[in-house]
Amino acid sequence: MELVARKRFAGLRLRATDLDWSAGEGEEVRGPAGDLLLLATGPPVGLDALDGPGVTQAAARVGRGRSWRSVIAC
């Protein structure tokens, strides 16, 4: 899984807000470690708990595209 996640999130930095952990380089995606793990393993869940300039790009890479935040905001 690590290789797939590394390729999927190339150019993004994932940073846990509840642990002392981060990985990657680039636009930051931050949130609880559990939600970052869900993101890294593929299912497009947990995105509402994530924040940062790289969130939209990360969401697109797991198949949710740009519109996921507008769905959550409703």
25 contact partners, CB below 8 Å, separation of at least 6: 11, 13
Position 41 scores a pLDDT of: 80
The pLDDT value given to residue 9: 86
Sheet holding 22-24, edge to edge: 22-24, 12-16, 27-31
Tens digit of pLDDT for each residue in 9-22?
A: 899 999 999 999 99
pLDDT of amino acid 62? 83
Give, for all 74 residues of the chain, the pLDDT tens digit.
Answer: 455 567 788 999 999 999 999 999 999 999 999 999 888 886 677 788 999 999 999 988 887 554 444 444 44
CA distance 72 to 6: 27
